[in-house]
Amino acid sequence: RLVIIVDDFGEFAGQLLNDFLATDPAVTFAILPDLRHSRTVMERAAETGRETILHIPMEPLNYPRNDPGPNAIMVEQSDREIMRRMEGYLRQLPLVAGANNHMGSLATTDERVMRAVLTVIEKHGLYFVDSKTTNLSVAYDVAQAMLLPSVQRDLFLDQPNSSEETMQERLSQLRQMKENKKDVVVITHCFDKQRLEILNRFISEAKKIGYQLVPVSELFDLDLPGIL
């Protein structure tokens, strides 16, 4: 099975959003809180039966050069403040099925911070995707220890760039993974029409390889921890 998450929705609506909404309905949209169109994206996605997740703004290593936003999760915050912010995000986006991190190459390395974040996710019955913006992330391990439905990103479709060459490299990796990995999680971003065109071609080629595209939640239907 193949999961594709498109990150960073919320800044725009209009034709570009319409175009992304027309892509394969199994693609999952990750929505940032506190943006002009965050709720609009959530509602329009829900109308079409598309799964959405909260894209949690979190502190990166190179802050403030890279800024996750004015209301982000930062490592100096107390557990109480982190949980307050998480609750605020979810009040804005009540229809999400899960969450993943936006930036967070520092925050996701801090076990205390992640435990506070994941406690709120657990309370709301959501799943968690570690976007793995750093190899030092402990987010997935903490989620697993808490018995949360969780998974981590395998590939970025648009890193180091959104190009034909990068797409072909990712397809090559998909072919290799098919031999020994049941599920693959791919992340891309919603910045422009070029990324959408690459995404649509990638989906078509992945299906030819033999992958079934599913929303994130389908990964957990049979894989939830049993009662010990």
Per-residue pLDDT tens digits for 174-228 = 999 999 999 999 999 999 999 999 999 999 999 999 999 999 999 996 444 444 4
Query: Where do runs of H (alpha helix) occur along 148-226?
Result: 164-177, 193-209
Q: For residue 52, give the DSSP letter.
A: E
As a whole number of angstroms, the distance between CA 142 and CA 144 comes to 5
Query: Where do runs of H (alpha helix) occur along 23-138?
Result: 38-47, 79-92, 111-123
- Convert the pLDDT of each residue in 118-155 to its tens digit: 999 999 999 999 999 999 999 999 999 999 999 999 99
Residue 110 CA, distance from chain mean position: 19
Query: Which residues are CB-contacts of 212 (< 8 A; sequence separation ≥ 6)?
Result: 1, 2
Does a cis peptide bond (omega within 30 degrees of 0) precede residue 68?
no
Query: Which residues are CB-contacts of 1 (< 8 A; sequence separation ≥ 6)?
Result: 182, 183, 184, 211, 212, 213, 214, 218, 219
Q: Which two tokens stand for residue 127?
A: 């799943």
15: part of which helix (H) or strand (E)? helix 14-21
Q: Which two tokens stand for residue 7?
A: 């990150």
pTM listed for this prediction: 0.96
- Convert the pLDDT of each residue in 4-24 to its tens digit: 999 999 999 999 999 999 999
As a whole number of angstroms, the distance between CA 204 and CA 206 comes to 6
- Convert the pLDDT of each residue in 72-117 to its tens digit: 999 999 999 999 999 999 999 999 999 999 999 999 999 999 999 9
Residue 224's pLDDT is what?
44
pLDDT tier at 165, thresholds 50, 70, 90: very high
Residue 193's pLDDT is what?
97
